[in-house]
Structure 1
Amino acid sequence: MSISLHHIRLAYGPRVLLEEVSAEIPRASLTAFIGRNGTGKSSLLRVIAGLRPAEGGEVRLCGTPVSALNPRQLASTVSFVATDKVRIANLACEDMVALGRAPYTNWFGRMQKSDRAAVRHALETVGIADLARKPMETLSDGECQRAMIARALAQDTPVILLDEPTAFLDLPNRYALASLLRRLAHDEGRCILFSTHDLDIALSLCDSVLLIDTPALHHLPAAEMAASGLIERLFAGAGLSFDPLCGRIRTDEP
């Protein structure tokens, strides 16, 4: 398994978000991570990425405990695409993508031929090779998200984590980006986990779905999750209902 969660306990101050939860996510799979706001999706992604500790339990990446990986090993195992938009003035797109090669360059950060080839391949894979010299601050939201994914690809990790990568995109670009993630998972054997509020995308394009229902964590194949009743229960009492036929949340109000 590429991601293994063993008896994870996650808390925010006195509030317990997850209690003794476990899950296994294989390689070559695309998994959506859903749940209501404030239930710990971003926090758990950061725990998996080794950016913060859990209050209990163990995370393993490709069979190795995250706690046993040194910074260079961790950076060559998992890449993390946060919700922050990179809008650094005068930073060319390919130079930002090249930052993903940091775990492999020498002490001076000098790019070798193999590093430059990895950056080119990443740009081509996400379809923005023609934007290589375009400054980051001039990219559209969709182009910027593809550039951030290209940086993760250039980092060449078996595990890629993304925190709400479709949040600022219109509907066509949301589907295009999720389709790209699906292709990367299946064609390149990556284990990709991303948080999202787009249930239709989660259920139609992903192999499986992780769902936080505090303090529990459920992990099912997408079709089984849609039929399980877990999503309906999650939104019950909030004036919302889930339509499993179209994968959308609807208001219960007339």
Structure 2
Amino acid sequence: MTEGSKHIILKTKQLSIGYQTKKATSVITENINLELKQGELIGLVGANGIGKSTLLRTLSAIQKPLEGDIEIHDIPLKNYAALDLAKTMSLVLTEQLMAKNLSVEELIALGRQPYTNWVGYLSKEDISAVKKAIEHTNLKDLKHRKCFELSDGQLQKVMIARALAQDTDLIILDEPTTHLDMYHKAYILKLLQRLAKDTNKTILFSSHEIDLAIQLCDTMIVMTNDKVVSDSPCHLIEQGVFETLFPKDLIGFDQKTGSFRVKK
């Protein structure tokens, strides 16, 4: 599949995000035009407090956009019923997991809820989807362990497996490497890269690990104070986009190495 022929899973048109109350409207960012393509790993990066989580919540219908349009498979996001959206998009968010007493396999099986009947009976298709998710994330040896027994890195793999079992075209993760050490940050993002290629799913994640995202992502979305831009990491480096992310008094971006450096 060539770059130009990749199917667009999600796109936005003149999207504005922020918060609205009865008294005022607070715009975080506007004029966001994105295209997320099938089978790509897409990293969303930017400084703390820039609005990454707000953008992800808006794209996933958790909060409404202020203006503009969001489409998935050319259908407006607002037209999706909750059940249909759950069969199209899966989420891995940063909130505390409340079901840690479940086994790994049981938690992954929760990803099949959009497809099961009212008593939650797992069909042969559901069981097969859970098995494939376990295989894709190399969790076979842990599937009978209780989730409270897992490390942060192992638990993050289980949450990714649950999203895989949900079998959606689009997976959105909000800071999947939070609380992980350097090795496990790289491990999780490398896993996401492999899953995008092996399963042909579109995987969008937000992260503070900009150096790793530059190395591993097909496309990056960069949020700055002025705008939101999206392109391949190489093109973004050429355009000098990463040099605008942080104040220049302390952090500099090295175009040759594609990484940030502390100024001495």
Look up the match of 1:5.
Answer: 12
Letter in 2 for 1:8: L
- Tell me the secondary structure at the aligned position of residue 197 of structure 1: coil
- Tell me the secondary structure at the aligned position of residue 220 of structure 2: strand
Quick check: 1:16–1:215 contact (8 Å CA) kept in 2? Answer: no
CA–CA distance in structure 2, aligned partners of residues 152 and 238 of structure 1: 41
- For residue 137 of structure 1, report the CA deviation from its aligned partner: 0.7
Look up the match of 2:123.
Answer: 112
CA–CA distance in structure 1, aligned partners of residues 92 and 127 of structure 2: 21
> Runs of 4+ in structure 1 displaced over 6 angstroms?
none
For structure 1, which segment, 121-130 or 86-95, has the greater mean C-alpha deviation from structure 2 after superposition? 86-95
Q: Deviations over 1:90-131 (max 9, x none)?
A: 211111111100000011111112111111110111011111
Letter in 1 for 2:55: L
- Tell me the secondary structure at the aligned position of residue 238 of structure 2: helix
- For residue 12 of structure 1, report the CA deviation from its aligned partner: 3.7
Asked if 1:128 corresponds to 2:143, the answer is no
* RMSD over aligned Cα atoms: 1.5
CA–CA distance in structure 2, aligned partners of residues 206 and 16 of structure 1: 28
- Tell me the secondary structure at the aligned position of residue 83 of structure 1: coil
Letter in 2 for 1:103: P
- For residue 20 of structure 1, report the CA deviation from its aligned partner: 1.7
- Tell me the secondary structure at the aligned position of residue 235 of structure 1: coil
Structure 2 stretches lacking a partner, 5+ long: 1-7
Look up the match of 2:161.
Answer: 150
| TM-score, with length taken from structure 2 | 0.91
Pick the aligned partner of 2:94 from 83, 86, 89: 83
| TM-score, with length taken from structure 1 | 0.94
Quick check: 2:17–2:28 contact (8 Å CA) kept in 1? Answer: yes
For structure 1, which segment, 181-190 or 25-34, has the greater mean C-alpha deviation from structure 2 after superposition? 181-190
Letter in 1 for 2:122: M
Asked if 1:180 corresponds to 2:191, the answer is yes
Quick check: 1:240–1:251 contact (8 Å CA) kept in 2? Answer: yes
CA distance 1:169–1:106, change in 2 (3 Å): same
- For residue 89 of structure 1, report the CA deviation from its aligned partner: 4.1
Query: Which residues of 2 match residues 221-240 of structure 1 at below 5 A?
Result: 221-237=232-248, 239-240=250-251
Percent of aligned pairs sharing the same letter: 36
Query: Which residues of 2 match residues 237-248 of structure 1 at below 5 A?
Result: 237=248, 239-248=250-259
Asked if 1:32 corresponds to 2:43, the answer is yes
Pick the aligned partner of 2:58 from 47, 53, 59: 47
CA–CA distance in structure 2, aligned partners of residues 128 and 86 of structure 1: 18
Quick check: 1:175–1:201 contact (8 Å CA) kept in 2? Answer: yes
Quick check: 1:161–1:193 contact (8 Å CA) kept in 2? Answer: yes
Quick check: 1:87–1:137 contact (8 Å CA) kept in 2? Answer: no
Asked if 1:250 corresponds to 2:261, the answer is yes
Q: Deviations over 1:9-55 (max 9, x none)?
A: 11246542111211111101011100111111111111111111111
Q: Deviations over 1:167-204 (max 9, x none)?
A: 22122222221111111111211111100111111111
Q: Deviations over 1:196-224 (max 9, x none)?
A: 11111111110011001134110011111
Query: Which residues of 2 match residues 94-113 of structure 1 at below 5 A?
Result: 94-113=105-124
- Tell me the secondary structure at the aligned position of residue 107 of structure 1: coil
Pick the aligned partner of 2:79 from 68, 72, 85: 68
Structure 1 stretches lacking a partner, 5+ long: none
CA–CA distance in structure 2, aligned partners of residues 104 and 158 of structure 1: 15
- For residue 85 of structure 1, report the CA deviation from its aligned partner: 4.1
CA–CA distance in structure 1, aligned partners of residues 209 and 26 of structure 2: 26
- Tell me the secondary structure at the aligned position of residue 94 of structure 1: helix
Look up the match of 1:195.
Answer: 206
Counting matched residue pairs gives 253
